[in-house]
Amino acid sequence: MKKTFLLLSLFLGIAYANATDYYAQYRTDWAQKAEQYKPTLNETVIRPQSIVEFVKDEKAFQGWKANIIGEAKPFFGQSFKNQKEIILDLGDHYTGYFYFKLKEIQGIQDAPVRIKFTFGETAPELSTPYEPFNGGLSRAWMQDEIVTICEINDYETINRRLACRYIKIELLGSSPYFDFTFDDLYFKAVSSAKESEYVYDPNLSKELNDINRISLRTLHECMQTVFEDGPKRDKRLWVGDLYLTNLANNYSYQNYDLAKRCFYLLASLADENGRLHANVFEAPKPHPQYGTYIIDYNLLYNVALLDYYKATNDIETIRDLWPVAKRQIEDAMQFLNDKKIYDREKSAGLWLFFDWKNELDRYVAMQGVTIFSLQKTYELAQILGKTNEVKNYPTFINEMKSAAKKYFYDKNQKLFISNGQISYISQVWMVLSETVKGKEASELLNRVMNTPNAVTIGSPYGYHYLIEATIKVGMKSKAEELLINYWGKMVEYGADTFWEVYDPYNQYTSPYDFFPLNSACHAWSSTPVYFINKYFK
Amino acid sequence: MKKTFLLLSLFLGIAYANATDYYAQYRTDWAQKAEQYKPTLNETVIRPQSIVEFVKDEKAFQGWKANIIGEAKPFFGQSFKNQKEIILDLGDHYTGYFYFKLKEIQGIQDAPVRIKFTFGETAPELSTPYEPFNGGLSRAWMQDEIVTICEINDYETINRRLACRYIKIELLGSSPYFDFTFDDLYFKAVSSAKESEYVYDPNLSKELNDINRISLRTLHECMQTVFEDGPKRDKRLWVGDLYLTNLANNYSYQNYDLAKRCFYLLASLADENGRLHANVFEAPKPHPQYGTYIIDYNLLYNVALLDYYKATNDIETIRDLWPVAKRQIEDAMQFLNDKKIYDREKSAGLWLFFDWKNELDRYVAMQGVTIFSLQKTYELAQILGKTNEVKNYPTFINEMKSAAKKYFYDKNQKLFISNGQISYISQVWMVLSETVKGKEASELLNRVMNTPNAVTIGSPYGYHYLIEATIKVGMKSKAEELLINYWGKMVEYGADTFWEVYDPYNQYTSPYDFFPLNSACHAWSSTPVYFINKYFK
């Protein structure tokens, strides 16, 4: 009886899995390939170069700058009980693990010592008190750790990966009966990118050279065992970030195994209906952020696959993942209505991103990204000889373009309007989707950039698409101007890596209500390396 | 040329070692034996019994008491994001390591969590803010640790050994996007003592039963890989504490290997002139607190050896360590002058302990402890058949006793006076050394206890000798009264283990200017187990 029940359960279990898991037959293979292409990280030992102090400076970004006050070397061997506090400078942004070794220099350790280490990507991050903490994300993202050293002996480490340039060390407790020093201290930096590819290009302006260099560093830091969105905070793979880092990688480090791993990993963790999750985690074992989807991100997954194929000719990967690409289109299209535009009611629960801009109405952009993705996915089908599976795409594309013009285009204002709103992003996606082309398209972009009330761009992520659209319509010098005005300003402010958030109108802008929580090294800000190497060289 | 120099250096090196290291020929053997007898610790997994709150209570010791508000079990599985803070009660004092395991209960962990754990031996210790810290020892002794959990997965631990009954847990940081619980949490208690030997003895009063039980627990907690002075703070082997714990051990757990290890360890780490260091550390490798000597402690080492031998008949150990015993006597005697009392000038730099009492003049006590040690060391020589090596001891004993009576005894007051000062400790050591005996001795003790201006006892360490002296002169009921008045009062106050410091006149007395730094479980307070089992059963 029990045996029968067990067999029945197993049978039903399998039947259930087959019936409901869209990718049941592929998942194991994808997960294995994701694992197979997991890179070994390159390790580099970095010791601090300088001792710095942070000083208030109105001209500095977020009001603080780092002044070098000496070399780091003499710090080692000196009494830390006398020093009590120090800020060390690694000289650049690094991602990795921290090690230190204490040594008794007077008396015998008769009590534990208590030391606080705070790791910061920037001077203002380390100069702003974290308490009382009112940030909108976990306080635990802040990289301050208190350690108790019971026995001074060998190297000690801090049990988390860190991302920083500066290390602040404060003595919180020690015995009156002995003294000690830092005998050694180093950062084991890790990345799956080779060391920086940057070489000064005399044919480029200094500004573009700087932007190129810092983009490379940003990408380098985000290249771990996936393309992480930020090595300090979030530390996971998002589909939208992958779209951008894949582009940047194609034009720089060309670590195609890493890209391949990311494609397979996302696919292996898609939900039972075949929809990709917006982001996935690698540890303790790979898992998605269940229930989290961004439809525009998923449509860009297909485009990233095509970009990857064009860079690699790796047909096996796009053949493997073709069911995913096709499924993302099907998934998105279900929210269209008879007019071939997204139905606001059907799609009410969807998370659409496009840019960090709360007020942005995203329906024109959704129309655009869907057309864009349909075109690129059809190109994938052509490469794979599978156009018969997507015969209806060309019709969809035409119908959606017509619908966009019919329902969103305002002939008087000569702009696309999304629920009464004029935005940069709406026009950008009408251009990228080739709903408008040629002179019409360049005029559209110029027009929105001259519309004072238009909703502007809110993030480096959004800026990427604006610049891409600007280049697409042939306005290369405008694109360069935008690049230099936005990323170039971060360079002027002394950025070592490009930031998650840069708001030219408010240096303290934070989506988390606490600017030190912002990531100062963010994958989605690394695409100038793509623009410069693809278009400006 | 180089080779010759090297050989010469080696030769001189060896010669130097032989000439200056008093124990050169024994040291390796002693160190090996210390290692050989290092006990394996017994491990016991303890899970919290209750949830408590600490409430202010004027009647409670140091103003705070713990009220049980529920069983611990329901805490597991509940949202810790809602709970935010909790105090768990292990039900008794434990020494060991802490483990915990978190579990997601809603959403997916998308950010690290930051949790503060504070471990406390007592309610007041956990109810008093540690900052701003003005204690006279390292702040790092306080057992509060902040941990960042980047990935909820397996068991986590805190990288230090702890001593506590209560565990306070505070949530310092978590993500708004997921919730978690404590899936498990336990304390791996360690001790080289067997589980408590205590059984209720119907022939003893309730007070003595309680004192016996708590003494056993105190000793149990201090029995690690050496007899530690306190499992929370200091965590090392002191010679004076060994004298007392060895007595307590002989009348309870009888872990003679542990005692043997301590004797050998101290010997192997004596200085080049053969003088024992006052205390030694086991890690990272065994080492003394260089330059720290307490002469009265060293003289008691010999007595402890004799006590150990009487309990074990282990002649090998006392034969091995005989050179150490003899040397401690020689070392002390060099500070005597022609009158056969300690020369204040010669001995000016010496650290004499006897009791925690700043104002105490210790010269009469030094006279006493030296006579006491001479007698016991001579007894060792008799056992070993080595009286020929210490032929002069009986003469020394007589001369020192006479000198004590001649130079320290005030015939009018009928008390021993140390530099003009009347103290309990001076009389106690005149009794223990048998400088005065019989009726004269009991009168001496009664007299000092009825002298209002006499310097009283300041610590459990000092109390031990007072009670020992009281019993020695036959005043057993007085000894019981002292025991019950001092240790019994700690029982009344709810002690789980006996304290490092108990000042009947000020509950907040701390030698470190911060009472939560005091150890609430201290080896030197465990000797009631010796008194009760030796004299009161």
Bin B473: left if φ > 0, else alpha if -120 < ψ < 50, else beta: alpha
Does A131 contact chain B (CB < 8 Å)?
Answer: no
Residue A185: name the closest of A282, A274, A119 by CA: A119
> Tokens 């009392």 — which residue?
B341
Distances (CA, A) of A277 to A144, A290, A346: 31, 7, 19
Does A134 contact chain B (CB < 8 Å)?
Answer: no
Residue B14 pLDDT level (bands cut at 50, 70, 90): very low
Question: Count of CB contacts below 8 A, A vs B?
Answer: 112
Do A145 and A77 fall into the same domain? yes
Do A267 and A163 fall into the same domain? no
3-class DSSP assignment, residue A103: strand
- The answer to whether residue B444 is domain-embedded is yes
Q: What is the CA radius of gyration of chain A?
A: 26
**Amino acid of residue B342:** Y
Do A282 and A174 fall into the same domain? no
Beta carbons of A141 and B112 less than 8 Å apart: yes
Do B221 and B174 fall into the same domain? no
- The answer to whether residue A31 is domain-embedded is no
Q: What is the CA radius of gyration of chain B?
A: 26
pTM for this predicted structure: 0.94
> Tokens 């003592």 — which residue?
B193
Min distance B325 CA to chain A CA atoms (Å): 26
Do B102 and B246 fall into the same domain? no
Per-residue model confidence as pLDDT tens for chain A (537 residues): 334 333 343 343 333 444 589 999 999 999 999 999 999 999 999 999 999 999 999 999 999 999 999 999 999 999 999 999 999 999 999 999 999 999 999 999 999 999 999 999 999 999 999 999 999 999 999 999 999 999 999 999 999 999 999 999 999 999 999 999 999 999 999 999 987 668 899 999 999 999 999 999 999 999 999 999 999 998 999 999 999 999 999 999 999 999 999 999 999 999 999 999 999 999 999 999 999 999 999 999 999 999 999 999 999 999 999 999 999 999 999 999 999 999 999 999 899 999 999 999 999 999 999 999 999 999 999 999 999 999 999 999 999 999 999 999 999 999 999 999 999 999 999 999 999 999 999 999 999 999 999 999 999 999 999 999 999 999 999 999 999 999 999 999 999 999 999 999 999 999 999 999 999 999 999 999 999 999 998
Preceding peptide of B284 cis, ω within 30°: yes
How many domains does one find in chain A? 2
> Which of A84, A97, A108, A118 should one mutate to test binding to chain B, selecting the residue with the greatest count of B CBs within 10 A?
A108
Beta carbons of A284 and B154 less than 8 Å apart: yes
**Amino acid of residue B401:** K
DSSP B193-214: SPSP-----TTS-HHHHHHHHH
CB B502 within 8 A of CB B489: yes
Beta carbons of B176 and A108 less than 8 Å apart: no
Do B173 and B216 fall into the same domain? no
Distances (CA, A) of B246 to B240, B261, B267, B379: 10, 11, 16, 18
Which of B133, B137, B160 faces A148 most closely, judged by CB atoms? B160
What HEC string does B327-342 produce?
HHHHHHHCCECCCCCE
Beta carbons of B160 and A176 less than 8 Å apart: no
B157: CATH:
2.60.120
Does A316 contact chain B (CB < 8 Å)?
Answer: no
Q: How far apart are CA A500 and CA B61, in angstroms?
A: 54
Do A252 and A276 fall into the same domain? yes
Dihedral angle sign, alpha carbons of residues A117, A123, A127, A132: negative
Min distance B175 CA to chain A CA atoms (Å): 4
- The answer to whether residue B22 is domain-embedded is no
Does B138 contact chain A (CB < 8 Å)?
Answer: yes
Residue B459 pLDDT level (bands cut at 50, 70, 90): very high
A308-328 in b/e form (b: 16+ CB < 10 A) is: bbebbebeebbebbbbbbbbb
> Which of A80, A97, A98, A110 should one mutate to test binding to chain B, selecting the residue with the greatest count of B CBs within 10 A?
A110
CB B47 within 8 A of CB B193: no
Distances (CA, A) of B31 to B20, B320, B341, B358: 19, 12, 35, 36
Q: How far apart are CA A445 and CA A453, in angstroms?
A: 14
Q: Which residues of A touch B152 (CB under 8 A)?
A: 284
Min distance B376 CA to chain A CA atoms (Å): 32
> Which of A138, A162, A234 should one mutate to test binding to chain B, selecting the residue with the greatest count of B CBs within 10 A?
A138
Do B63 and B212 fall into the same domain? no
Q: Is the ipTM of this complex over 0.95?
A: no
Does A153 contact chain B (CB < 8 Å)?
Answer: yes
Q: What is the pLDDT of residues A214-233, one digit of tens each?
A: 999 999 999 999 999 999 99
Q: What is the pLDDT of residues A393-441, one digit of tens each?
A: 999 999 999 999 999 999 999 999 999 999 999 999 999 999 999 999 9
3-class DSSP assignment, residue A299: helix
CB A229 within 8 A of CB A289: no
Of B146, B162, B191, the residue at which a domain comes to its end is B191
Beta carbons of B138 and A289 less than 8 Å apart: no
Bin B175: left if φ > 0, else alpha if -120 < ψ < 50, else beta: beta
DSSP classification of residue B255:
-
| Residues in Cβ contact with A223 at an 8 Å cutoff, skipping those fewer than 6 apart | A191, A192, A193, A245, A249, A253, A255, A258
CB atoms within 10 A of CB A291: 10
- The answer to whether residue B431 is domain-embedded is yes
DSSP A213-238: HHHHHHHHHHBSSSB-S-TTTT-SEE
Min distance A423 CA to chain B CA atoms (Å): 30
Residue B268: name the closest of B22, B460, B472 by CA: B22
> Tokens 């009408």 — which residue?
A430
Of A159, A191, A223, the residue at which a domain comes to its end is A191
Does B132 contact chain A (CB < 8 Å)?
Answer: no
CB A468 within 8 A of CB A303: no
Do B386 and B311 fall into the same domain? yes
CB A131 within 8 A of CB A161: no
Does A154 contact chain B (CB < 8 Å)?
Answer: yes
Percent of chain B with pLDDT over 90: 95
Which of B133, B136, B281 faces A176 most closely, judged by CB atoms? B136
3-class DSSP assignment, residue B481: helix
Does B111 contact chain A (CB < 8 Å)?
Answer: yes
- The answer to whether residue B167 is domain-embedded is yes
Which of A172, A174, A289 faces B110 most closely, judged by CB atoms? A289
DSSP classification of residue A107:
S
Beta carbons of B108 and A140 less than 8 Å apart: no
**Amino acid of residue B297:** Y
Does A351 contact chain B (CB < 8 Å)?
Answer: no
- The answer to whether residue A350 is domain-embedded is yes
3-class DSSP assignment, residue A150: coil
3-class DSSP assignment, residue A370: helix
Distances (CA, A) of A50 to A90, A145, A324, B118: 7, 22, 50, 36
Q: Which residues of A touch B110 (CB under 8 A)?
A: 234, 236, 281, 289
Stretch 378-407 of chain B: residues touching chain A, C-beta under 8 Å: none
Do A232 and A310 fall into the same domain? yes
- The answer to whether residue B108 is domain-embedded is yes
Beta carbons of B173 and A108 less than 8 Å apart: no
Question: Residue B42: what pLDDT?
Answer: 97
CB B301 within 8 A of CB B325: yes
> Which of A109, A139, A153 should one mutate to test binding to chain B, selecting the residue with the greatest count of B CBs within 10 A?
A139
CB B131 within 8 A of CB B516: no
Preceding peptide of B129 cis, ω within 30°: no
Which structural domain range is residue A101 located in? Answer: 42-191
3-class DSSP assignment, residue A173: strand
- The answer to whether residue A200 is domain-embedded is no
Min distance A114 CA to chain B CA atoms (Å): 5
- Across chain B, mean pLDDT equals 95
Residue of chain B with shortest Cα separation from A143: B148
Q: Which residues of B touch A225 (CB under 8 A)?
A: none
CB B22 within 8 A of CB B273: yes
Do A241 and A299 fall into the same domain? yes
Beta carbons of A176 and B137 less than 8 Å apart: yes
Residue A186 host element (H or E):
strand A179-191
Of B138, B156, B191, the residue at which a domain comes to its end is B191
Do A114 and A212 fall into the same domain? no
Q: Which residues of A touch B225 (CB under 8 A)?
A: none
A475: CATH:
1.50.10.10
